[in-house]
Structure 1
Amino acid sequence: MSKLNPSPAVEFYDLVTRTHSEGGDALRSVLGDVDATAGPVLDVGAGTGRTVRIIADALPGARIIATEPDLVMRTVLTHQVAGDDDLRRRVTILPEPAQTMPLPDRLSAVVLFGVIGMLDREERMQLWDRLLPRLAPGAPVAVELLPISKPQQLPPMPYAKERIGDHLYEATLQGEPGDDDLMVLNSTWHITGGPGADRTVHGTSQWHTFGLEDLARETGMVAEQLTMQAGVLRAST
């Protein structure tokens, strides 16, 4: 799912990923056949480190390049990596966005979870031009998309529900069409239970809508849908 804007709802990012965990299972299945000796795994928009840990667990010994331009999430990512001796040896953190991140000559896999919809078609084409020549033979590109391929009105729906200590965190998400292929996503978080006053926090993000088959046409790769939101692109044989 799309990452929320840095403020003020970024504090709840990990609560969303906990609720929508099926993408993590899909990513593990994609990584199962990766030859990590062919090059590092690139995690674009690594957020607070959820996908970094999945990659590290699925591919022991693999080198990982984790890019995250948002300072708040990158701070949490750095904390997660620095506190784990194994990750400290294997994970390199970059602050650049997808459009300008430096890339190695070879990649054994690419993970684009919660980020590809932040790029318009021109930006995606520029990204593919940089990524595709660097993919090792058989290297997969794992992607996570909104489960809608064009802008539409989305009524409020439950988004996340988690309890931390005495506080209950509940969120709803609604969407409306923006310009061109954009969806505007609005989340509302209610934090209730003592101690302290109840809180309501609103977050807004934008997401370019398209489907996995659109990415297959852009890249010339073969697409496989794994869940409602997760899929994989592989070079055609």
Structure 2
Amino acid sequence: MDDFYSPVAEFYDLVGRAHSAGEQALRERLSAMTHIHDPILDIGAGTGRTVMTIAESVPQVDILAVEPAPAMRAVLTHAVAQCLELRQRVTIIPDTVDQLQLPQRLGAVVAFGVLGHLTSSQRQGLWALLLPRLARGAPIFVELLPVEKPVVLPRMMLANETIGQRHYQATLEGEPGPDDTMLLTSCWTVSGGPCATQVIRNRSIWHTFGLEDLARESGLHAQRLTPQAGVLYV
């Protein structure tokens, strides 16, 4: 996968509130799954928000946190290093999904905000890697953009936050790209304080599909949890 995240990694957690519904649904489902004992795989762990959710919801289970973007991984490593329990439970993996070497058994998989960066063939390779390692009923939690085919995405507010004397404002917009893709553009404007105004534009590619499409291509059952999050299971 291309590294779409390092250029804006310093701002990533400022848009956390946009993900709160999916993370809350993940927390509720995991907390109810007292039978999970095998490691939980977090693909695209980012700066660690889902890692923290998993750790708080499923005590004592090991977590494999996959994050190939160096800047995002730096924030993740810092967060894990601050807590003795996390240092003992969380293994940070820098590999992309086509390079993963996994244990024979997984208790669950979390893939929030990442599957749309994979082509259909890459996703098929991922299913082939994951499914033999999951027991019947073991969940794969996913979070997707709420678009199932390429469309024009009008500019929307992504973040509007103030830290100290600096104000951080971000927008997101998108347009159809080749085949099933959308070209997404985020724009961060950072102003105020004793610094010049910064404008950072970042482009990424997202393959469009829905939760039911994932169910069909993986052969799994699907249940929607929020407009953007769902769970797949055998």
- Pick the TM interval, shorter chain: over 0.9
Instruction: Read off the aligned partner of 2:14 and give its amino acid letter.
Output: L
What does residue range 103-118 of structure 1 map to in structure 2 within 5 Å?
Answer: 103-118=102-117
Whole-angstrom distance in 2 between the partners of 1:80 and 1:93: 11
Contact 2:223 2:231 in 1 (8 A): yes
Please tell me whether residue 82 in structure 1 is matched to residue 90 in structure 2: no
For 1:172, the equivalent position in structure 2 comes to: 171
Whole-angstrom distance in 2 between the partners of 1:110 and 1:86: 20
Moved more, 32-41 or 176-185: 32-41
What is the deviation of 1:7? 4.4
For 2:139, the equivalent position in structure 1 comes to: 140
Whole-angstrom distance in 2 between the partners of 1:99 and 1:81: 25
The secondary structure found in structure 1 opposite 2:135 is: coil
Contact 1:43 1:112 in 2 (8 A): yes
- Please give the per-residue CA displacement for 1:167-218, whole angstroms capped at 9, x wherever unaligned: 1211111001111111110011111221212221111111100000000101
Contact 2:44 2:111 in 1 (8 A): yes
Q: Which has the higher contact order (CA 8 A, sep 6+)?
A: 1
Q: Do the aligned partners of residues 7 and 134 (structure 1) sit closer, same or farther apart at CA in structure 2, a change above 3 Å counting?
A: closer
Whole-angstrom distance in 1 between the partners of 2:51 and 2:27: 11
The secondary structure found in structure 2 opposite 1:197 is: coil
Provide the identity percentage: 55
Aligned length: 233
Whole-angstrom distance in 2 between the partners of 1:160 and 1:63: 33
What does residue range 57-72 of structure 1 map to in structure 2 within 5 Å?
Answer: 57-72=56-71
Instruction: Read off the aligned partner of 1:207 and give its amino acid letter.
Output: W
What does residue range 9-158 of structure 1 map to in structure 2 within 5 Å?
Answer: 9-35=8-34, 37-158=36-157
TM-score normalised per structure 1: 0.94
What is the deviation of 1:89? 0.6
Contact 2:144 2:210 in 1 (8 A): yes
Q: How big is the alpha-carbon RMSD for the aligned residues of Structure 1 and Structure 2?
A: 1.5
Contact 2:153 2:175 in 1 (8 A): yes
What is the deviation of 1:99? 1.6
For 1:223, the equivalent position in structure 2 comes to: 222
Moved more, 32-41 or 145-154: 32-41
Whole-angstrom distance in 1 between the partners of 2:93 and 2:3: 20
Gaps of 5+ in 2: none
Instruction: Read off the aligned partner of 1:216 and give its amino acid letter.
Output: A
For 1:203, the equivalent position in structure 2 comes to: 202
What is the deviation of 1:120? 0.6
What is the deviation of 1:6? 3.5
Gaps of 5+ in 1: none
TM-score normalised per structure 2: 0.95
Structure 1 runs of 4+ aligned residues shifted over 4 Å read none
Whole-angstrom distance in 1 between the partners of 2:215 and 2:5: 30
Contact 1:156 1:174 in 2 (8 A): yes
Instruction: Read off the aligned partner of 2:192 and give its amino acid letter.
Output: G
Contact 1:189 1:201 in 2 (8 A): yes
